[in-house]
Chains A and B, each alone.
Chain A
Amino acid sequence: MRERDLIIVGGGPAGLSAAKVALESGCSVTLIERANDLGGQLVKQTHKFFGSKSEYAKTRGIDIATILIHDLEPYQDRLEILTNATVVAMYPDYVLSVYSGHDYIKFKANAIIIATGASEKFLVFENNDIPGIYGAGAIQTLMNQYGIMPGRDVVMVGSGNIGLIVSYQLIQAGVNVKAVLEAADHIGGYLVHASKLVRLGVPILTNTTVKRAHGTTKLEKVDTIQLDNHWKEIEGSEETIECDALCISVGLSPLHQLLSMAGVEMIYINELGGMIPKKDEDYETSMPHVYACGDVTGIEEASSAMVEGKIAGLMAAASLGKPHPEFDSRKEEYFHQLTNLRQGPCGIKIRKGLEQAGEMI
């Protein structure tokens, strides 16, 4: 059993931000990440971020990852980083089981921050398991991290910001985007992203979804179908599009499993993507000294994940008797930033979800 002060699970934008603030506060931190590198999904975000300047708006995601990792360098003497290490279990007695290098290692912590992020949702249609049907994140990983095209001709399902941005990134990588399908009657993401695609001649088909896929060991084509405004299929409206990759971009759901396993009180909020931990205003879950931040507490954007990470780091450090020297002003600043990021029409869904979870407004 390895005993530690503060363990952070997940080295994405939330976990890295939490680590920085906890280290500034004087804590010793163990950061556990299952991938080969830190940065989470930022490492494949080639687009420039929106949001506020304090969360690196106008900076590309890939560069934000580098900044967040670099920010931890002054604290090497108090920071332990495990990569290629997956936390596979969390128990009510603060024990974590970590799978690393074909071995299981047990850790015990005084405080834990869960920043595990999210996984991609799937869509139900005939033959939705044929190789060549990928999540939008998978396609970003393949082309932006490893430099490999997912296919030659791609159809995108979903016109939220991820669907629109990934479509544009596919074109940048030299891939032909044949169409973007959107089941709703309007484009889900920012029109600035949609306009870029339309200018490049990509059709965005609203009231349309994928009906079935064709192929055996490789995707060959998909049939689309139109929907009426009650989401009912319109008979005789099927059309076939030939493609060798289908990209599913229909949202994310929180990776809540460790929290659920430890017996943390959970709540299902559709607007926030699924099961999330109940937490108090200090970001503490129902399990004392266990904090949660980022997409695991509800699907938002990397910008809010970073601010939530800072809050969790600040609070966890204080609970360990090491309050940040600027605790009060930082707390006020972070909550203010979070409120700002969730303002406006694009934050409606998030605000509604948080309200249901009993967290705000």
Chain B
Amino acid sequence: MIEYYLESGEEMRIEEHPILSFKKQNQLHFTFNGRPMIGIEGDTIAAALHDNGIMHYSNSLKSHRPRGFYCAIGNCGSCNMKVNGVENIKTCMTLLAEGMVVESELDEVTIDA
């Protein structure tokens, strides 16, 4: 049986909020660099990773410095990752789906996958 890294909702999920309510949605299973993880339906990939304590998404091309996300709305490209084998996916805008295979782009990537 696969052991999932973290039960969603234990780490960074907001439990109580004076204005917003976050409905408990279905859990989705995915892997990050081969590690099984759990997100929630409606999460973007980046949001689900953040909830699992993952903030390091890629390395910069020239200096290979760790990168997380910066803008979360598809402007900066800092969160690009390989998703289901396709490189340079904006993980801050792509919704998580059951069984997704997410890999960080730590080495040189090509422009067209």
Contacts and interface: CB of A to CB of B under 8 A. Distances in A.
Contacts of A35: 73-74, 93
Contacts, number: 99
Nearest to A171: B18
Nearest to B19: A46
Interface residues of B, number: 36
B69 A138 contact: yes
A86 B94 CA distance: 13
B67 A129 contact: yes
Interface residues of A, number: 38
Given A34-B93, A147-B20, A216-B66, A131 B72 contact: no
A60 B18 CA distance: 13
A209 to B, nearest CB: 19
Contacts of B17: 147, 172-174
A132 B55 contact: yes
Contacts of A143: 14
Given A134-B70, A173-B14, A255 B75 contact: yes
B93 A132 contact: no
Contacts of B93: 34-36
A138 B75 CA distance: 11
The secondary structure that dominates the B interface is loop
B43 A146 contact: yes
A269 B75 CA distance: 21
Nearest to A146: B47
Interface in A131-180: 131-135, 137-139, 141-144, 146-150, 172-174
Contact of A41 (B19, B20, B69, B73): B73
B19 A138 contact: no
A345 B22 CA distance: 38
A97 interface: no
Interface of A: 34-36, 41, 46, 60, 62, 86, 102, 119-120, 122, 129-135, 137-139, 141-144, 146-150, 172-174, 216-218, 255
Given A131-B56, A134-B69, A141-B72, 19 more contacts: A35-B93, A119-B71, A129-B66, A130-B68, A132-B68, A134-B68, A134-B70, A137-B71, A137-B72, A137-B73, A142-B50, A142-B72, A144-B20, A147-B14, A147-B17, A149-B14, A172-B19, A217-B66, A218-B55
